[in-house]
Chain A
Amino acid sequence: MALPNREIPLKLELRGITKRFGDLVANDHIDITVEPGEVHALLGENGAGKSTLMNQLYGLLQPDEGQIVVNGEPVVFRSPRDAIAAGIGMVHQHFMLVPVFTVAENIALGSEEVRGGPLGWLDRRRSRRDVIETSERYGLPVDPDALVEDLPVGAQQRVEIVKALTREVDLLILDEPTAVLTPQETDELLAVMRSLTAMGKSIVFITHKLKEVKAIADRITVVRRGKIVGTASPDTSEDELAALMVGRAVSLEVAKTPAEPGRNVLKLAGLVVDDDRGVRAVDGVDLEVRAGEVLGIAGVQGNGQTELVEAVMGLREVRAGSVELDGESLAPLSTKQILRSGVGYIPEDRSHDGVVKEFSVAENLVLDMYDRSPYGNAFKRDLGSVGSNARERVAEFDIRCQSPDTPVGTLSGGNQQKVVVAREMSRPLRLFIASQPTRGVDVGSIEFIHGQIIHERDQGTAVLVVSSELDEVVGLADRIAVMYRGRILAIVSPDTPREEIGLLMAGITGTGGDAPEEGTK
């Protein structure tokens, strides 16, 4: 492979890149040009083929057709090593950091500084110095001696960026970099991206978040179902971008009327829950959810939301405090009893806890009621009514599948989620809990699921929505509880400025002295 000239700024062209997995065409003749010093946004829904494309650019996958051209020279990347050598680096959505290694070890890994010939004795001092140098040069503070597993997510991301930069890359691929960040951390990241492009680096920014694209991108390429469906400039409106991305006009706003809250349905008092490792995850939460309202829990993932919901559902032991549904304690009940006492539940990890992938759509739709009339009794199942129920639900919830007998695992994420929503909403409910209801779901389905949640609210059900997407919480909720490190820091109205909620999510409650430093916005 001819090494491209590294002296001139890197210009990247993808020409006719095609990648197939069996019958599925993940990338269909993709042409993209990334100019030096620009932020090129690759916008598309989950499953549109963005990550597949970037994995080919980074040498993790090889294209079936097409060419990667760097500064006019066609190149072939057989492994990430080749891509790095050509000046291309990547920050993956799920960080590629070894948790038990130090920052310096992680950054050195794969291109270690060694002395002593064949033994490959690590030169740790030089690795440390390299890290410090790069970190200072680009204004990305990282502590070379910290263990990665001790670092907050934002800092881990900085480590990933520094890791790419120490390899002297000129083009940086950021794959959904803001998915795990607080709004403040997102702003900081955008600032970093600006300063990197000012130094002549180019950035490919993969995302499905329209606001960020508009804030930072110089050019936007929209991908849908493996094809480029258009390019846009940053002044294109969000609605237009969304329409391009989804393929039809979508409404980004959740349409709803003001809530008419009634009695208290769910009441948590002094709730204390531990996580899997026995560490306190929920630390004395008091919360009430009323009939006919949506209470949204905002917060960066991992601040106890998961454990809180699992405790309510009887999936996790309550250490202290109480959980009451209409004044009755849920603590002594099994999860099955809780579900049947009128609680609907969308678990956050759909593929683990929401559906049985090998089971058919019809079976998944009655997972909660398979042994109850009309679907069966203690001895036999009534497949006829299982089937007719499935046909009704499939039509009602617009579940796109070949037939109700197809395994759920073959459906798209959005349709799998609709199966879960359809099942949980087919019981009479007093309380509906939706945890990350639209994670990994296409925009079209998001719209539909949001509509269903509001519909459930309007029927007088108490709704608890947990989401790490602030937009989603703001759009759905009538009241927002911000959770941070196991506590509810505040309950605010959805009209509260986003900055304020963002600060709360970062654990900053004061309005005065604790504000972040200037210039991060």
Chain B
Amino acid sequence: MSTATVEETSVVVAPEPFWTRQRRLGLTLVLIGLLAAVLFGALAPSEQARFTLSDDAEGAALSINGQLGAVLFGILTIVAGGVLLAGLAKRRQTALLGLGILTFVLSFLCWQVAGKFMPLVDTTSGTMQLALPLILGALAGVLGERSGVVNVAIEGQFLMGAFAGALVGTMATSVWAGLISAAVGGLIIAAILAVLSIRYLVDQTVVGIVLNLFALGVTGFLYERLMQNDASAYNEPPRLPEWRIPGLADIPVLGPVLFDTNLLVWVALLLVVAIHFGLTRTRWGLRTRAVGEHPTAADTVGIRVRGLRYLNVLMGGLVAGIGGAYFTLVATGSFTKNMTAGAGFIALAALIFGRYTPFGALGAALFFGFAQKLATYLSAVGSPVPSQFLNMLPYLATIIAVAGLVGRVRAPAADGLPYVKS
């Protein structure tokens, strides 16, 4: 109870220090805004930057002079930071932060695209596709961690899902069988994680890492022994169909991204909404959060702590397994060894950067997906900025988030702690 008492004390004793988080944030935005306006502005050629609504250089486009845009958006970043720094608009902190980051990115784009063109539809749908497994993986993490079980085995669940989806999908020549098997693949890894960490109290991070290696080994072995020898029998799954919803699909930019696409996009977005409302508005969610924050308190009002943790970790396994299906049933159409290549860890980063919330995870996943898409674009147009810089962004963002530079990320209090009845 001492913490609560200290809490109370802090309210009165501490005079608000000048460098609040908000001000530090504002200062950061002002600095990067300056960087954008001066550096990007100076480097950008004074030519049109065209953001085309179609897929080619012709057709309707939003265009702006690259140099002007870089300077203008940089100045907007400075303004957003300035408002925060001045201590105005305390309520709109998140919105201003978002505006600052957005304008900074736009300034960067103006510099890069000046004299060239960037197809908006391709960029957004590419972002969505790249973000897709990240969203699902991060949601799996949300489910487990909010109930107090750390899940660093998302990567392993992806791999198992991807593998099982490809294998069963091919053998049954049914993409739906593949999708279900992918979910089951994730579930298997989750079940091992759950039993070892909840029942046998093994350190959850260690179990997670071991499971990642396990999944890598098992799928790699079976891939070499089975799939490589006879790909047509084991490794040519049908792809998930793309469905086009008439009318809605004609909305510029967003239409093709959301309404002319594969099922997983809807599954992922629906799950974000469902888990958000589930966590905040339902009995299951209240209990899940209680178990993740203060399991003893939950136990004393008759909630079955371990049971609920099992349920959540297993549900997370299903979701991450579906995320794994993206790799074989959507992106490529065949399994290869270690094909997830660390996406599970980026999903983990999205979970933390998204503050353990579904919508936060969605935002972080989209942001990371965009960074990856941008990296491809930049190397395609031969930008002087190395694409590795952008690929490094998720990890950099996570370090910043965890270090508490941009708003403190607070994990559930009992996250990672096994519950033992005393």
Which A residues form the contact surface with B (CB < 8 A)? 58, 60, 79-81, 84, 90, 92, 94-101, 105-106, 108-112, 114, 119-122, 148-153, 156, 163, 180, 275, 277, 279-281, 283, 300-304, 485-486
Please encode chain B, from 261 to 302, with 1 for each CB lying within 8 Å of some chain A CB and 0 for all others. Answer: 000000000000000000001111011011001101111111
Does A84 lie within 8 Å of B293, measured CB to CB? Answer: no
Does B3 lie within 8 Å of A304, measured CB to CB? Answer: no
Does A156 lie within 8 Å of B1, measured CB to CB? Answer: yes
A interface: dominant SS: loop
Range for the number of chain B residues in contact with chain A: 35 or more
Does B5 lie within 8 Å of A122, measured CB to CB? Answer: no
Q: Which of B9-17, B311-319, B329-337, B339-347 contacts A (4 or more CB under 8 A)?
A: B9-17
Chain A residues contacting B298 (CB-CB under 8 Å) are 98, 109-110
A301 to chain B, nearest CB (A): 6
Does B286 lie within 8 Å of A99, measured CB to CB? Answer: no
Does B293 lie within 8 Å of A101, measured CB to CB? Answer: yes
Chain A residues contacting B9 (CB-CB under 8 Å) are 279, 281, 302-304, 485-486
Does B283 lie within 8 Å of A152, measured CB to CB? Answer: no
Chain A residues contacting B12 (CB-CB under 8 Å) are 485
6 nearest A-B pairs in the assembled complex, by CB-CB distance: A110-B301, A302-B5, A81-B302, A120-B283, A96-B297, A279-B10
In-complex Cβ contact of A120 among B2, B282, B294 (8 A)? B282
Sampled A-B contacts (25; CB under 8 Å) = A60-B299, A60-B300, A80-B299, A80-B300, A80-B302, A95-B297, A96-B294, A98-B289, A98-B297, A101-B289, A101-B290, A109-B290, A110-B298, A112-B283, A119-B282, A120-B282, A120-B284, A122-B286, A152-B8, A153-B5, A275-B10, A281-B6, A302-B5, A485-B9, A486-B9
A300 to B287, CA, bound (A): 32
B380 interfacial contact with A, CB 8 Å: no
Does B1 lie within 8 Å of A153, measured CB to CB? Answer: yes
A486 to B15, CA, bound (A): 12
Does B281 lie within 8 Å of A99, measured CB to CB? Answer: no
Does B303 lie within 8 Å of A279, measured CB to CB? Answer: no
In-complex Cβ contact of B302 among A110, A148, A149 (8 A)? A110
Chain A residues contacting B299 (CB-CB under 8 Å) are 60, 80
CB closest residue in chain B, given A147: B7
Does A92 lie within 8 Å of B293, measured CB to CB? Answer: no
In-complex Cβ contact of B2 among A60, A151, A301 (8 A)? A301
Q: Could you say which of B7, B294, B296, B300 has the most chain A C-beta atoms within 10 Å of its C-beta?
A: B300
Does A112 lie within 8 Å of B302, measured CB to CB? Answer: no
A118 to chain B, nearest CB (A): 10
Does A279 lie within 8 Å of B297, measured CB to CB? Answer: no
Known: A97-B297, A111-B302, A302-B8. 14 other contacts (CB 8 A): A60-B300, A80-B301, A80-B302, A81-B301, A97-B294, A99-B3, A99-B294, A111-B301, A120-B282, A121-B281, A122-B286, A275-B6, A304-B9, A486-B13
B171 to chain A, nearest CB (A): 35
Does A485 lie within 8 Å of B13, measured CB to CB? Answer: yes
In-complex Cβ contact of A109 among B8, B284, B297, B421 (8 A)? B297
Does A112 lie within 8 Å of B300, measured CB to CB? Answer: no
A79 to B283, CA, bound (A): 19
Chain A residues contacting B286 (CB-CB under 8 Å) are 101, 105, 108-109, 112, 122
B402 interfacial contact with A, CB 8 Å: no
Please encode chain B, from 1 to 41, with 1 for each CB lying within 8 Å of some chain A CB and 0 for all others. Answer: 11111111111111100000000000000000000000000
A208 to B293, CA, bound (A): 30
Q: Could you say which of B6, B11, B299 has the most chain A C-beta atoms within 10 Å of its C-beta?
A: B6
CB closest residue in chain B, given A279: B10
Chain A residues contacting B282 (CB-CB under 8 Å) are 114, 119-122
Chain A residues contacting B10 (CB-CB under 8 Å) are 275, 277, 279-280
A95 to B4, CA, bound (A): 11
Chain B residues contacting A300 (CB-CB under 8 Å) are 5
B180 interfacial contact with A, CB 8 Å: no
Contact A151 to B4, CB < 8 A, known contacts A60-B299, A109-B286: yes
B415 to chain A, nearest CB (A): 13
A499 to chain B, nearest CB (A): 22
Chain A residues contacting B294 (CB-CB under 8 Å) are 96-99
Q: Could you say which of B282, B294, B303 has the most chain A C-beta atoms within 10 Å of its C-beta?
A: B294
Does B13 lie within 8 Å of A283, measured CB to CB? Answer: yes
Chain B residues contacting A58 (CB-CB under 8 Å) are 300
